[in-house]
Structures are given as C-alpha cells and as structure tokens.
Chains A and B, each alone.
Chain A
Amino acid sequence: AQTVTQSQPEMSVQEAETVTLSCTYDTSENNYYLFWYKQPPSRQMILVIRQEAYKQQNATENRFSVNFQKAAKSFSLKISDSQLGDTAMYFCAFMKLGGSGNTPLVFGKGTRLSVIA
C-alpha cells in the first residue's frame, strides 16, 4: 500500500516571498503520478501541479514548481511570489498507473498555508 506524508501541519509566508511545502511518499510502484492540490475555504480540490514519475524534469506551472526526487521519494512544492489568494490547505497526492480508468488518489494529511500581507 502507498502512503503519503506531509510533515508540516501549518506554514506561513509573507506576501511576495517564497515558500516550500514538503511531501514524502512510500511505494513499491515504478509508474505513478504525484500531485499537489489546493483546497481553499470553498472546499473544492483544485489541481495545482502534476508530475509523472517517468519524467526526470521537474514540473512547473507559473509560480508553482516541484522538486521531485524519485530515489528519495520526495516531492516538494515551491510557491514563488506568494499571493494572498494562495492561502489554503495544500495536499500532496499519489496515484499509481494501471488498469481501466484512473486508480484512486492517496492523499497526505495536508499543510495549512497562510499568506500574510
């Protein structure tokens, strides 16, 4: 079974600064995806960024980038130029590849990020 660990329950950052959220995972699978989701008070899970395990290049989406270390099973999220709207819960998630349809997501417990003006 896969597990996802987020060791930072809460973090805060000044507006315009950079913050890094940590995530480690455990799996025996070789083919999988990793995700970071954002959950604002509206409760909807919003995909921030996705990383395919077979890709060595780290994924980037505008101000969001990841540091994917496959051997270390580490997948951190860096948010640059933090904005007030980035305030939310952030969840790291794992999905193995295989079968018909998508396989379930395995989530960490989340990190509550507060961006301070």
Chain B
Amino acid sequence: ETGVTQSPTHLIKTRGQQVTLRCSSQSGHNTVSWYQQALGQGPQFIFQYYREEENGRGNFPPRFSGLQFPNYSSELNVNALELDDSALYLCASSTRIDGYTFGSGTRLTVV
C-alpha cells in the first residue's frame, strides 16, 4: 500500500489563471473522488471517476474538470480561477470493500 499522494501541497495562482492538481491513488483502488474544502467548512464533492469515466458530479461549474488515467491516478483542472476557488482540494481513492482513503490535499490560494 502506498496511500494517496497529492501534488503540489501548496499553490498560489492569480485570478483568471488555470491550475492542474494531481493525485496518485492507493494501489488497487479504481475510483477517485475530488472534494473542495473551504476554510472552516466540511469537504464538498466536486466529481468522481470510476475506471476512467466520470460517474458523479457535485454542484460545481464546468470550469472544474478532471481526468482519470489507466493507472487510476487523476487530475483536477480548474479554468478561469476565481477568488472563491481558494480552498483545500482533497483527493480520495476507494473501492467498495476498502472505503475511502484520502490524501493530505493541495492548498490553493487565488490572489
């Protein structure tokens, strides 16, 4: 088991820019989910991928997009960054048996 690894750990971007966050899933986990956690709040579901296809999406605009690769790693892309996009972005990989394993997140600051 290698756990879930996210990169980078911290990131500062300017409003209007684009950002890509990366996540390596735990070995054997075929589902990856992304969550946004604003300061002082609980995580909010962005979207989920199962075997490289999106199979669930939360209430986030289309400028939030993602990919899952054959090795089950994943990317979260955010276009046209807004100040309110500043948050901790958590990735979680899972199976039905194992449940969710979370990474330590990427702290994104938009200025």
- Counting chain B residues whose Cβ lies within 8 A of the other chain, the interface size class is 20 to 34
Interface residues of B in 63-78 (CB under 8 A from A): none
Q: How far is the CB of A50 from chain B (nearest CB, A)?
A: 7
Whether B50 contacts A109 by the Cβ 8 Å rule is no
Q: Is A85 engaged at the interface, CB distance under 8 Å to the other chain? A: no
Residues of chain B within 8 A of A110, CB atoms compared: 40-42
Once A101-B55, A102-B94 are accepted as A-B contacts, the answer to whether A109 and B99 lie under 8 Å apart by CB is no
Interface-facing stretch out of A41-49, A65-73, A75-83: A41-49
Residues of A within 8 A of B40 (CB): 109-110
- How many of chain A's residues touch chain B, expressed as a range? 20 to 34
Interface flags for B16-58 (1: CB within 8 Å of A; 0: not) read 0000000000000011010100001111110010110001101
The interface of chain A, by Cβ under 8 A from chain B, is 4, 33, 35, 37, 42-47, 50, 91, 99-110
